[in-house]
Structure 1
């Protein structure tokens, strides 16, 4: 299965990001890819939440989602839209949702995943991020069918929580998607090693499309969109810059690796006893 990864520098104007996504999807289809994977916040990357609020819509009204669905249908290909910020009528506090989509070649949404683990960190004296102040976290792990495989969906900071990926592979996932907008300091320190660890633990392919560069809102993201095979080998590292990367996935590799090291089959579920101090 030939896949494409889009490494983007999304900005603060959704219509411009939508145009870029259309072009990337068309180019990926022309190159023969079956599925294209895009980064977290493909439609809008803006840390000025007052300004962003004017552009964030409900799922039914989101122009970027509509554009991607239309282009997927036109191109006749699958799109794993890394994520969009959308409003939620179900959240009484008015918080947004960081939602990932799987779209089929008919332009239909076949799966949705809401980011579970929210990025609340202090990276240093000048950089602090509180995703939970604007976003509501999801609750459900999601596995969905793509050609030749089952896809386990996650987003960015989820990468640091191996229990999620254990649940995804227990449910049959053999590809794990990790769309991201990793910061430069954490990217340099942890991005590659965490992706390889998740692939090795799961005996699965990991596909991680990322944001890259200096963005309109002032933040910088790491890039290095990657594909890791079930043995932990790096099949693709897009490094710096924007554009498309391509990789062929041999899905037989999943069973080959899981037969050699049956860690998924040998997993045990256990509880620690509670003892008095």
Structure 2
């Protein structure tokens, strides 16, 4: 890797966010400080880190204009103060719809500047018995794919929670060395799908995956799955926090990534273009 670090310490913060922004920011600040003390150069916060309301519309009054507001100021200050890359979970940003906001992930560089923005595209919808979710009631889907950004370790992709179920969404971001996914998976879906989907994204893209989650019973009565984790390019879980506030941490290793890609060159074996032969017609087949 030219002009890139061969390794980098990263951390994912897990929270049980409540209905008061100020309290959530205090919790996030405390966990960021712990992550920095562990040596992390990149820290990721979970989806909805700043607010988990009782009703869908509760987030609307908190929506900030891009580049201005107390939540964005907090994130910028934390990145600059600690000299870290900070993936700011998600926060509500104003959208053209009066009754809906963007669920936005902002990435800040060590100078506190916005390096990437992604407005969540895939909006979660689930109905089973009395358990019901429909993010589109208060969230407007984003119009643009995530901005891939460059850290000292290399190209880094973004996704948010429900995006995890769409492998083509991540593959479209190209050859990346790290994927970061802030999330607030429900207990019902997370208990069966979270780990297997995260490991699949790591295996098929042969990259590290860092997932920062909400994990516990919230003041609004919702229960989230947690299990924030760091996964290596072979699909092995390097660290995991099942439930409650805290963090997971570990080191990204270029040697490990390159060894995986060299020993099983699946990325080079991809079938590209409409005229390419279908899998199974060539000789480079994984048995």
Normalising by structure 2, what TM-score? 0.88
The alignment of Structure 1 onto Structure 2 pairs a total of residues equal to 267
Q: For 1:178 and 1:51, how far apart are their aligned partners in 2?
A: 24
Q: For 2:211 and 2:205, how far apart are their aligned partners in 1?
A: 15
Q: For 2:58 and 2:165, how far apart are their aligned partners in 1?
A: 30
Of 185, 194, 215, the match for 2:218: 215
Of 101, 105, 112, the match for 2:106: 101
Aligned position for 1:193: 196
Of 131, 135, 144, the match for 1:127: 131
Consecutive unaligned residues in structure 1, runs of 5 or more: 273-277
* Deviation, structure 1 residue 110: 0.6
Q: For 2:124 and 2:57, how far apart are their aligned partners in 1?
A: 19
Of 133, 154, 161, the match for 1:149: 154
Q: Secondary structure at the match of 1:209?
A: strand
Of 260, 263, 280, the match for 1:260: 263
Q: In 2, are the aligned partners of 1:7 and 1:212 still within 8 Å (CA)?
A: yes
* Deviation, structure 1 residue 245: 2.1
Q: Secondary structure at the match of 1:6?
A: strand
Q: For 1:264 and 1:33, how far apart are their aligned partners in 2?
A: 29
Of 118, 123, 142, the match for 2:123: 118
Deviation beyond 6 Å, 4+ runs, structure 1: none
Q: For 2:147 and 2:89, how far apart are their aligned partners in 1?
A: 14
**CA deviation vs aligned residue, 1:74-122 (integer Å, no higher than 9, x gap):** 111111112112212xx24542111111111111111111111110221
Q: For 2:156 and 2:14, how far apart are their aligned partners in 1?
A: 20
Q: For 2:16 and 2:62, how far apart are their aligned partners in 1?
A: 17
Aligned position for 1:60: 67
With 58-67 and 238-247 compared, the bigger mean Cα shift is at 58-67
* Deviation, structure 1 residue 62: 2.8
Consecutive unaligned residues in structure 2, runs of 5 or more: 1-7, 276-287
Aligned position for 1:19: 26
Q: For 2:97 and 2:235, how far apart are their aligned partners in 1?
A: 42
Normalising by structure 1, what TM-score? 0.91
